[in-house]
């Protein structure tokens, strides 16, 4: 098999394809011949040395794949062989062959291509957890989706539309027209600008009931202040870390220095809630993940889950694919494809 290694901290030149023997599937596992790989922002942070959860270097990252099962562990049902699936991988997904616990594998809906299926797990599970499971968004409420043009952002738009909420989002200006087509009621340009005056104007100075914020650091403070009373802030990323002028892992200091300190008394008196989401820390709760995925799969059947692949790059073009995201050019998901 071929795997894409991060060989050291740095730019896309640190990505290298290496050959290895095919893994075999042990008890409880399925082996998948990969056809498409979902790229996540965390993969880029890992390469930059800014993702504390990443394995020790050199390593193979990758949280999600789609492909065809070609081998099963001794205790697994042979009916899996030849089935088209998609799966969550706890790293190791940047490969043309992976072995995964069966509990992390789902039958691929026939309506989805491999590329679309690889765009589902991380983005839609994260959006579902943020908006529905913890964020408790209800019809008639208003949500602000930061980074609405990213993979999670587009998934969150789908979920918020399904719930029946009013949806505002921040994104680079060039993405606004597309985001409105996808269901955003108003798009706000947040590049080099404060987005709050526009949000306050849109919400009649009241703020909104839910904000999902993957930017981190001081940005979380600003988002908290933009909540309406009874509002909730869901924090789930630290994208801003890449903008720091500091070098290497020191860039994390900027995020840490800007962290809000939430005071329980203020939370009570403000009637607001704050929460965090990290799908990468839920491997021990796979039953919950599977239940949420059933809701997402039902959404695929019903048509409100619309995984949008912005661009598919070849396996060998992984550096270009990551650079495309770093340059903020993607609207929705970027995937790698493996020729069959
Ligand atoms: N906690 C979790 O479980 C979880 C799961 C998935 C993702 N996340 C986090 O959610 C965030 C979005 O992930 P994603 O996979 O949806 O993103 P993505 O699809 O890779 O989108 C990247 C987009 O983020 C925006 N962005 C904002 N700040 C940026 C920066 N400093 N550098 C580059 N791009 C920046 C850009 O769009 P605009 O300029 O148009 O806004 C860019 O196009 C990341 O922080 C990621 O780590 C967390």
- Which residues does a 6 A CB cutoff place in the pocket of ligand 1? 40-42, 122, 126, 147, 149-153, 171-172, 175, 214, 236-237, 239-240, 242-243, 277-280, 325-326, 328, 330
- 126 and 273 fall within a common domain: yes
**Distance of alpha carbon 227 from alpha carbon 223, whole angstroms:** 7
The atom of ligand 1 lying closest to the CA of 330 is: 43
Measured in Å, residue 61 CA sits from the centre of ligand 1 at 17
Kindly report the protein residue whose alpha carbon is nearest to atom 2 of ligand 1: 278
Measured in Å, residue 327 CA sits from the centre of ligand 1 at 11
Mutational test site, ligand 1, from 40, 61, 130, 171, max ligand atoms within 8 Å of CB = 40
For residue range 162-198, what is the model confidence (pLDDT) as tens digits? 999 999 999 999 999 999 999 999 999 999 899 999 9
User: Is 296 among the domain residues?
Assistant: no
Task: Identify the domain boundary among 263, 280, 297.
Answer: 280
Which residues lie across from 311 on neighbouring strands?
334
Domain that holds residue 246: 122-280
User: Is 293 among the domain residues?
Assistant: no
Q: What is the DSSP string of 49-79?
A: T--TTSPSSSB---SEEEEEEEEE-TTS-GG
- 258 and 216 fall within a common domain: yes
User: Is 28 among the domain residues?
Assistant: yes
- 15 and 108 fall within a common domain: yes
- 92 and 114 fall within a common domain: yes
Measured in Å, residue 25 CA sits from the centre of ligand 1 at 33
CA angle 228, 230, 235 (to 5 degrees): 80
- Cis bond upstream, residue 58 (ω within 30): yes
User: Is 297 among the domain residues?
Assistant: no
In the chain, the number of structural domains is: 2
User: Is 156 among the domain residues?
Assistant: yes
Q: Could you tell me whether strands 97-101 and 29-38 are parallel, antiparallel, or unpaired per DSSP bridges?
A: antiparallel
The atom of ligand 1 lying closest to the CA of 279 is: 3
Please identify every stretch of the chain with a pLDDT value under 50, giving residue numbers as ranges.
none
Which pLDDT belongs to residue 258?
Answer: 84
Which pLDDT belongs to residue 23?
Answer: 97
- 85 and 105 fall within a common domain: yes
- 238 and 132 fall within a common domain: yes
- 173 and 88 fall within a common domain: no
User: Is 299 among the domain residues?
Assistant: no
- 187 and 215 fall within a common domain: yes
The atom of ligand 1 lying closest to the CA of 327 is: 33
- 81 and 197 fall within a common domain: no
The atom of ligand 1 lying closest to the CA of 243 is: 31
Q: Which CATH number goes with the domain that contains 237? A: 3.40.50.720
- 110 and 170 fall within a common domain: no
Measured in Å, residue 7 CA sits from the centre of ligand 1 at 23
Where are the alpha helices (H) located in 186-229, listed in sequence order? 196-202, 218-225
- 137 and 99 fall within a common domain: no
- 147 and 159 fall within a common domain: yes
Kindly report the protein residue whose alpha carbon is nearest to atom 23 of ligand 1: 150
């Amino acid at each position: 098999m071929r795997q894409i290694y991060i060989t050291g901290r740095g730019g896309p030149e640190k990505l290298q394809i290496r050959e290895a023997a095919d893994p075999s599937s042990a008890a409880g596992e399925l082996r998948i011949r990969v056809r498409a790989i979902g790229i996540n922002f965390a993969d880029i942070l890992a390469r930059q040395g800014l993702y504390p959860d990443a394995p020790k270097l050199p390593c193979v990252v990758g949280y999600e794949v789609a492909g065809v099962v070609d081998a099963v562990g001794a205790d697994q049902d042979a009916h899996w062989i030849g089935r088209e699936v998609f799966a969550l991988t706890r790293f190791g997904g940047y490969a043309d062959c992976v072995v995964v616990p069966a509990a992390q594998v789902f039958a691929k809906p026939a309506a989805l291509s491999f590329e679309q299926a690889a765009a589902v797990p991380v983005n839609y599970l994260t959006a579902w957890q943020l908006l529905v499971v913890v964020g408790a968004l209800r019809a008639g409420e208003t949500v602000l989706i930061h980074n609405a043009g990213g993979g999670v952002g587009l998934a969150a738009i789908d979920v918020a539309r399904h719930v029946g909420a009013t949806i505002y989002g921040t994104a680079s200006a060039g993405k606004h027209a597309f985001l409105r087509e996808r269901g955003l009621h108003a798009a706000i340009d947040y590049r080099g600008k404060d987005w709050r005056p526009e949000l306050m104007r849109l919400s009649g100075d009241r703020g909104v009931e839910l904000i999902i914020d993957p930017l981190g650091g001081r940005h979380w403070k600003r988002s908290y202040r933009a909540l309406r009373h009874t509002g909730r802030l869901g924090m789930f990323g630290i994208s801003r870390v890449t903008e720091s002028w500091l070098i290497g892992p020191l860039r994390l200091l900027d995020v840490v220095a800007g962290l809000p300190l939430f005071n329980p008394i203020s939370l009570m008196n403000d009637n607001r809630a704050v929460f965090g989401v990290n799908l990468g820390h839920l491997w021990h709760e796979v039953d919950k993940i599977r239940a949420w995925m059933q809701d997402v799969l039902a959404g695929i059947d019903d048509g409100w889950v619309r995984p949008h692949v912005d661009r598919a790059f070849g396996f060998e073009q992984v550096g270009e694919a990551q650079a495309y995201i770093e340059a903020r050019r993607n609207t929705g998901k970027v995937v790698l494809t493996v020729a069959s």
